[in-house]
Amino acid sequence: MAGKHSSLLEEYEREVEIESQVPQEEAERRIRERQSKLHIQCQKKKLEVAEKNLNKMLDAYTAAADEMSSDTPQLQALLEKVSANSQTAQELLIRAQEAILELDLRIETNNLLADTEPRELAEESNRIRLAPLPNPKFGGKVWEWESFWSAFEHSVHSRSIDDAYKMYYLLDALTGEARESLKQFEVSGRTYALAIEHLKKKYGNKQLLVGELVDRLEKCRARTKRLEDQRRLYEEISSIVIQMELQSEGIDSTVLQKLILSKFAEPIQRHALRKKQEIKEGETWNTKMLLQELSDKIHSEIEIHRHIRSDENRPRRETEFNSNNMQERRNNGAIHRQQPDDLKTFSCFYCDRKDHPPKKCPVFKTREDRWRK
């Protein structure tokens, strides 16, 4: 599917070069314009269908990769391949979105040229239908700003389109508090750069981000002491610590380690503290080691509980006995009692007879007799 998508994009780019050679004759030009409009609509439809199919395949591909278990052979190599293929698909999607947007702009331009009545810029802008781009939404959470800006910069900000269009894309990507903060700006190309600068100052502040991360860490709580809730707590704390490290913030302070440890159930804390005491001389205990021990303990306990539940659910064979704990059978009208297999014979290790247990030995009755024996 990615190969087909790439071929469509290459075909589109070749045709754009051909269509740029506009004929000079008026009649021929008009015929060419009508053909061009129809062809643009067709190309746009093809790209939209291919993009939709590629999105579905990419979602299915990444979902299958997410379900791979940790004991999958050559897991690291597979994950690297998945990452490379996903990156290629994402690049194709971005190219497709750019091509679709350019087609939209060409359609809009053709419509404007065909319309003899003057239109104000605001009216023209209202008719613009933005082609959807693969950008995440941003609602004002400081720790999400960097990932949002990286995606937006790649798919919109760095493109060679008018700033007015970029402003519309920016407003479309923002929600909540972040969108409210741009109400002071006029919606036009003139204010786009100012809006970007405002957002960077407000949400790109490193110290503000670190402060938000520390607040999130302090508020982290497990719902219960259940292992699944402890695992979720670990994942949340681990994510926060990684983000702090990416901001070049020191993560190995004793205060931070105590704060992290205090969030977990007592048995998990005890395990981590024992491991800290077992480190070799000259080795320094750090926050990554703490997180690793917490993770190991939680996952090992989850695995133990899983095995226990599996054993409890396994069907058991039961031996049924009658009220006398004996089996009865009839043979020629006579009733014979048969003891269960584990009670059929006795073996006395004092006299070697098999008709009684050792404690009832009639030959060696006393303790002294048995010792002498």
Q: H-type helices in the chain, by residue range? A: 2-19, 26-66, 75-114, 121-127, 145-152, 163-173, 176-180, 192-203, 206-219, 227-246, 254-262, 266-277, 287-312, 367-372
Query: The tokens 């970029």 sit on which residue?
Result: 166
Q: Is residue 135, in this structure, part of any structural domain at all?
A: no
Packing angle between helix 287-312 and helix 266-277, nearest 10 degrees? 130
Q: Is residue 244, in this structure, part of any structural domain at all?
A: yes
Q: Is residue 275, in this structure, part of any structural domain at all?
A: yes
Instruction: Look at phi and psi of residue 20 and say left if phi exceeds 0, alpha if psi is from -120 to 50, else beta.
Output: alpha
Q: Is residue 200, in this structure, part of any structural domain at all?
A: no
The Cα 144–Cα 173 span in angstroms is 13
Same domain assignment for residues 290 and 367: no
pLDDT exceeds cutoff 80 at 193: yes
Q: Is residue 112, in this structure, part of any structural domain at all?
A: yes
pLDDT category at 314 given cuts 50, 70, 90 is low
Check residues 203 and 313 and name the one with the higher pLDDT: 203
Condensed to tens digits (0 to 9), the pLDDT of residues 18-38 reads 554 444 455 555 666 666 666
Of 53, 44, 35, residue with least CA distance to 11: 44
The Cα 270–Cα 262 span in angstroms is 11
pTM above 0.85, yes or no: no
* Tokens linked to 172: 């479309």
CB 128, CB 117: distance < 8 Å: no
What is the predicted pLDDT for the residue at 340? 46
Same domain assignment for residues 302 and 347: no
pLDDT exceeds cutoff 50 at 328: no
Same domain assignment for residues 295 and 373: no
Condensed to tens digits (0 to 9), the pLDDT of residues 295-312 reads 999 999 999 888 888 766
Number of domains the chain contains: 3
Q: Is residue 126, in this structure, part of any structural domain at all?
A: no
What is the CA angle 18-21-25, rounded to 5?
135
Instruction: Look at phi and psi of residue 4 and say left if phi exceeds 0, alpha if psi is from -120 to 50, else beta.
Output: alpha
CB 205, CB 170: distance < 8 Å: no
Domain residue limits at 255: 229-312
Condensed to tens digits (0 to 9), the pLDDT of residues 352-365 reads 787 888 778 888 77
* Tokens linked to 125: 């802008």
Name which of 83-92, 110-119, 191-200, 263-272 the model is least confident about: 110-119
Q: Is residue 50, in this structure, part of any structural domain at all?
A: yes
Alpha-carbon dihedral sign for residues 89, 93, 94, 96? positive
Same domain assignment for residues 292 and 362: no
